Every structure is written in C-alpha cells, then in structure tokens.
C-alpha cells in the first residue's frame, strides 16, 4: 500500500503552496476540497438527491449546484446540515480513496483543511502541518482573497487553533519565511518520505 501523508493547516497557511511543490516533484496530490466539489457535479447521484430534498431553487439555470444558496440553507438549520453531511461525507471519502488508489508516486498527499476534524486523517499514516503565525495567515489570506479582516478572522476562529493543529503534527512546515525557504523544507520532507515509503 502507498504511504499516505495528510497535509493540513489553517486558511491561507500555505497548503496549496506546499502541495504544488510536492506535485512538481511528481507526487500524487488528492485535494479534499476538490473531492467535495466533484461529488455534487452535474450527473452525480448526490446532486439529484440534493435537488429532491431542497428543491430546484438550489440548482442554477446551467444545472450545477448553487453552493452559496445551499450553504445559507444549511447554515440556518442544523438538521439540514446533518442531512447534507450524511449524504456527502461517505461519497467524499470514496472519492478521496479512489484518488489515493490511483496514486502513481512512491507516496501520496491528501490535502485537507479539516483533515483531523473530518476523520480523513484515518486514511493517512502521517500528518504534515503547515504552520504560520496568525498575523501572517491573516495578512496573506486578505491579500489573496481581497476579503475584509473580520470575515477572515471569523473563519480562523471556526477552525482548529494553531496549538491544537501542532499537537497532532508528525512533521511541520514553517511557512513564515520566503518561498525559497519553503522549497528547501519541501525537498527535505520529500527525501524523508521517499525513505519512509521504501521501508
């Protein structure tokens, strides 16, 4: 079985910056966010179930899911959120597993902002946390998304805090330096994971 490394970190910590660097070395990267979008694409059974449950208003004229409207609906109603999670979580897990099974590299990465909270870490043998001071996280996310400070802070408050995340880390990338520094750290980890994958 392929060695699976779980990669996690808070919003704007640099998960994509890190996973892109592993991908450039030929490592298979499975993204839990992409998997969660894939399971509700047009033609997939989950989209039909969502339409039957919430009504056709959650489907755009182009036939895809109106994610913003659905988010509003489940945000306002705990039971609806649970219904949606019970439908999608097992499908997302299957989607992730099939991506990992198709890995073509000596080890693979599973990138997920909610790796541990979602239970997806059970699919991994090791957890790599991207760590940045909160001020850097805030600054980079605001610059990237052009979002107001309060909105980014609210998302950060809803996620696991820095200490909790570091508590379950087997390996840590410190991403408060330059992108060149990130390259060096990823290369070191890559060598470590290649060795582990051989063992």
- Using alpha carbons, select from 126, 138, 118, 104 the residue that is nearest to residue 25: 104
Cβ at position 22, least distance to ligand ATP in Å? 12
Q: What residues from 9 to 48 belong to the interface with ligand ATP (CB under 6 A)?
A: 9, 11-17
Q: Does 120 participate in binding ligand ATP (rule CB under 6 A)? A: no
Question: Binding ligand ATP by CB under 6 A: which of 4, 58, 121, 140?
Answer: 140
Cβ at position 89, least distance to ligand ATP in Å? 19
Listed ranges 6-14, 75-83, 165-173, 189-197: which one lies at the site for ligand ATP (CB under 6 A): 6-14
Listed ranges 50-58, 81-89, 117-125, 175-183: which one lies at the site for ligand ATP (CB under 6 A): 175-183
**What is the size of the binding site for ligand ATP (CB under 6 A)?**
15
| Residues found near ligand ATP in the complex (CB under 6 A) | 9, 11-17, 113, 140, 144, 175, 178-179, 182
């Amino acid at each position: 079985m392929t060695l699976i490394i779980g990669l996690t970190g808070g919003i704007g910590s640099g998960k994509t910056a890190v996973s892109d660097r592993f991908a450039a070395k030929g490592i298979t990267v499975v993204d839990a966010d992409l998997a969660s979008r894939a399971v509700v694409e047009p033609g997939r059974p989950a989209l039909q179930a969502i339409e039957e449950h919430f009504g056709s208003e959650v489907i755009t004229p182009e036939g895809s899911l109106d994610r913003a409207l659905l988010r509003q609906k489940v945000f306002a109603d705990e039971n609806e959120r649970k219904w949606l999670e019970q439908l999608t979580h097992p499908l997302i897990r299957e989607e992730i597993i099939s991506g990992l099974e198709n890995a073509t590299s000596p080890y693979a990465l599973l990138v997920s902002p909610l790796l541990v909270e979602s239970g997806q870490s059970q699919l991994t043998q090791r957890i790599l946390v991207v760590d940045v001071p909160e001020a850097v996280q805030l600054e980079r996310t605001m610059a990237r998304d052009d979002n107001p400070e309060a909105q980014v802070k609210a998302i950060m408050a809803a996620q696991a805090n820095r200490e909790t995340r570091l508590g379950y880390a087997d390996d840590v990338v410190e991403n408060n330096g330059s992108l060149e520094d990130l390259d060096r750290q990823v290369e070191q980890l890559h060598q470590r994971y290649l060795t582990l994958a051989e063992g």
